[in-house]
Chain A
Amino acid sequence: MSMIARDAEPQSLDSVTHRTNQAPRWLWVTSLLVVSVVVAPLAYITVEVARQPSWGLIWSGRTAELLFNTTVLVAAVTTTATTIGVGAAWAVTRVRLPMPALWTSVLALPLVIPSYVAALAYLAASGPNGMFAQLWSWPVPRLEGLLGSWLALSLTTYPYVFLVSVIALRRMDPSLEEVARSLGKSPLRGFFLVVVGQLRPAIGASGLLVALYTLSDFGAVSLMRYDTFTKAIYAQWAVRIDRTPALTLALVLILLAAIILWIEQRTRGRAEYFTKRPSRPPKRTRLSRRATWAVQGALGGLVVLALIVPISVLIFWLLRGLANDQTLTNVGLAGLRSVTVSGVAALAAAVAAIPVAVLFVRFPSRASRLMERAIWAVYALPHITVGVAILFFTVTLVRPIYQSLLVLIAAYVVLFLPQASGAVETALRQIDPHIEEAGRSMGVGQMRSFLRLTVPLIGRGIASGGALVFLTVMKELPATLLLRPTGYDTLALAIWQQANEGLYTRASSSALVLLAISAVPMFLIATRTIRS
């Protein structure tokens, strides 16, 4: 699943409008069409499994084993990523360090590395054949299984906790920490007593994101050969074409995702935590020289592990291949395919997002809120379950388009629609709802007023929503794997297949191209979020 958190709701202008008027029919029709396409696969899974449930599989030792493995990994990654993320956020916002802005950017950077690229890098670095052994003869044991998955996922997901915590810490009123100090607490104790308590919603929300990401990760665990639900679902599909076991496991995985969401909701608490805007920036604690060096050392170690090692490993294998005259075939073609499908998917999602967003923002009703919740629920699901659902849905019901680019693009829209609609909604909330009425009072019809006034004004929102979808689709793996036309290998797919076969040079070159195309814009979006 993708990890761009929903935008915080900006101040709404809606209070000034009367919202009783009915939405025009075309808006309802197009929105319902979009939402039913998004929801259809999920409904299909549920109906299909209910019709012929394979209880035998659910109660088998196999399911228990998958459940155990998955739970251990989710718990380990969530704990690690949360601890690292909050600790690093505290260091860059509350400790007097040289170049805090640079630290913040560099610590957020691993965000752009897909988990399967990190897995590839750790695999290609360790073991008897890895980079460390080749360069310096270091006997680093091969990182795979639980250990490797844990490392790859923790180090690519902690930036979400880090970014959310940095924002929360900056918004926190510094007087609260000062009160703790004035009551005789040390900076560290004050941090735990006052700050961590206030950070709870931020930690909860970002921890939820990390847990869902880990639960739905397919790329890293499959490369690391660690058996979880996602890997088992893929194996079921790849080994035999009988759909029932794959769909059943997918439904169990969906239930796990629902449980994680439910736990987060239950423990959220009722307190209002954030002060609106602190009167002054938080004060940074001056630590002793030694402690400052220790903090910088820890942050530096994190950057080395999460960023410098993976990138160096990829570059090492690329150079090694070039030195051995290995031909890097098809990287260009795969790149072109990735850019093409991502571009078309982004365009489709942006267009589909417009009626949906207008309906949600301008004509809120019980039905529209239900539709909004439905598309967000699908967004929270593991991609492999949505992929399996769409796969069997097309095989059974719309056979002619099975394995066509149309299905692949539709799947991306289903998976990532909220990224686009969320951006359009934010843009819509920022424009004066009277604008269209003003147009109509000047004798210009509703549709023309919408096209000439509202669309240009939300253009940037549409574009940024589309860009977000583009970047997410670029690195999407499991749904692409299941739904692409045979042989249509994108960059993400090439990386995964080549890494799976131990072709580290080829995988590394594809990974570097992927990072070059998707990482830079992703990084710009992320840092803009922190600054604002």
Chain B
Amino acid sequence: MIDQELAIRVRGLDKAYGNTVALQGFNLDVWEGNLVGLLGPSGCGKTTALRAIAGFERPDHGTIDIHGRRIVDATTFVLPEKRNVGMVFQDYALFPHMSVASNVAFGLPSRDDPRVGEVIEMVGLAGLGTRMPHELSGGQQQRVALARALAPGPGVILLDEPFSNLDATLRDRVRREVRSILREAETTAVFVTHDQEEALALSDVVAVMENGTIVQAATPDELYLNPSTRFVAAFVGDADFVPGVAKQGKVVTPIGTFATALDGNVSVMVRPESVSLAPTENGNATIHDREFFGHDQLYVVRLNDGHLLRARTGPMPILDRHQRVQVSVRTAIAYPNEDSGGHPSSGVPGPTRQVEP
């Protein structure tokens, strides 16, 4: 990835609407050919960031380069139509008075451009060029929007919540299709989502946003296994936090003792799948609740000190409510308690193995 070219480089973007801050020191690097997911809760500024790259918002400060060309800084503002950036809107924004082919041809010099048929076929809509948008299903409309954005051969494609208008049964399929279309087109793409599962499944790199800035950008596995802040840990995947006090490289908690470089009061993050339960008379917890899904199940246990902890197991074992169990945790990460969206006091924590059984 290192020797690849940088497709989008964003530095120090600020944008405020009156008293509301949408972006604050927003930095982003997108490498050529990558699919980057911009993930964050609603209101974190992710759509503003996307629209700033597209040219529909002018940032208060900061710079944006696309393929080495400066498109935004204090004195430069390249108009959206001159950026060679394609955009797929959340509501698709298909032109309702034009056929599929005319929609796709809109950004091309001529309606008869061979490129029209080419992209329509690429998105799997061959033969539907004469249809009007309202005659298509939601998934097909989505693909027209994508074809239309791809047609002029943009250097970058931006997608704003591209799957949120599709119903759940359709979403997984369309997601896979869009991913393979983007792969086939060898396009660099950034998409915005609030759905962490979607971001993890689709992206080469996931950038997690909080309060107008990116807190961590990493591959999906890295992000999940090694979240840099307590916020990222809680936002990406399921996480429970157990309090503990760290000193001399160790943190002691009701669920075990873990290695850490921190000192003082900490929160220890535990993923449900790293928790195992063993029924025993003098265990450290009792079963509080259980949801059974078939291929797995989720137990909620109450620790002796009253904290609740989730444990994801296979369809076995079957444990009753109030049954006493011994909880053991394979991996956990400690975060400083005075976490205010910043970083752990002693650099990026690695996953820490339990030091004593």
Contact = CB atoms under 8 A, between A and B. Distances in A.
Note whether A and B form a binding pair: yes
Interface of A: 16, 18, 20-21, 431-432, 434-435, 437-446, 449, 452-453, 456-457
A440 B79 contact: yes
Contact of A18 (B51, B81, B86, B91): B51
By Cβ-Cβ distance, the 6 closest A-B pairs, closest first, are: A442-B107, A434-B93, A441-B87, A438-B93, A440-B80, A434-B89
A437 B86 CA distance: 10
A98 to B, nearest CB: 40
A228 to B, nearest CB: 49
B96 A441 contact: no
Given A440-B81, A441-B86, A446-B81, A435 B93 contact: yes
Nearest to B83: A441
A443 B17 contact: no
Nearest to A17: B56
Contacts, number: 78
Contacts of A437: 54, 56, 80, 87, 89, 93
B148 A442 contact: yes
A439 B97 CA distance: 13
A452 B107 CA distance: 12
A20 to B, nearest CB: 6
Contact of B149 (A431, A442, A457): A442
A433 to B, nearest CB: 8
B107 A432 contact: no
A438 B148 contact: yes
Contacts of B56: 18, 21, 437, 440
Nearest to A435: B93
14 contacts: A18-B51, A432-B91, A434-B89, A434-B93, A435-B93, A437-B80, A439-B106, A439-B107, A440-B79, A442-B81, A443-B81, A443-B107, A444-B107, A453-B95
Contacts of B17: 18, 20
Contact of A441 (B48, B80, B91): B80
Given A20-B57, A438-B89, A457 B96 contact: yes
Contacts of A440: 55-56, 79-81
B31 to A, nearest CB: 22
B84 interface: yes
Contacts of B151: 442
Interface string B297-328: 00000000000000000000000000000000
A456 B106 CA distance: 14
A16 B42 CA distance: 13
Contacts of B107: 439, 442-444
B244 interface: no
B contact face: mostly helix, strand, loop, or mixed = loop
Contacts of A452: 106
A440 B48 CA distance: 17
Interface in B172-204: none
A446 B107 CA distance: 13
Interface in B116-132: none
A525 B278 CA distance: 76
Interface of B: 17, 48, 51, 54-58, 79-87, 89-91, 93-97, 106-107, 145, 148-149, 151-152, 158
B81 A438 contact: no
A contact face: mostly helix, strand, loop, or mixed = helix
A458 to B, nearest CB: 11
Nearest to B109: A443
A444 B91 contact: no
Contact of A442 (B55, B91, B106): B106
B89 A21 contact: no
B126 to A, nearest CB: 21
Contacts of A21: 56-58
Nearest to A445: B81
Contacts of B91: 16, 432, 434
Contacts of B82: 443
A80 to B, nearest CB: 47
Contacts of B106: 439, 442, 444, 452
A438 B84 contact: no
A21 B52 CA distance: 12
A451 to B, nearest CB: 13
A164 B195 CA distance: 46
A444 B108 CA distance: 9
Contacts of B96: 431, 457
A431 B91 CA distance: 12
A320 to B, nearest CB: 53
A443 B152 contact: yes
Contacts of A439: 95, 106-107
Contacts of B85: 441
Nearest to A438: B93
B152 A442 contact: yes
Contacts of A456: 97
B191 to A, nearest CB: 14
A457 B81 contact: no
Contacts of A18: 17, 48, 51, 56-57
A444 B81 contact: yes
A92 B281 CA distance: 78
A463 to B, nearest CB: 14
Contacts of A431: 96
A351 B104 CA distance: 30
Contacts of A438: 87, 89, 93-95, 145, 148
Nearest to A442: B107
A438 to B, nearest CB: 4
Given A442-B86, A452-B106, 17 more contacts: A16-B90, A16-B91, A18-B57, A434-B93, A435-B93, A435-B95, A437-B87, A439-B95, A440-B80, A440-B81, A441-B55, A441-B85, A441-B86, A442-B106, A443-B81, A444-B81, A457-B95
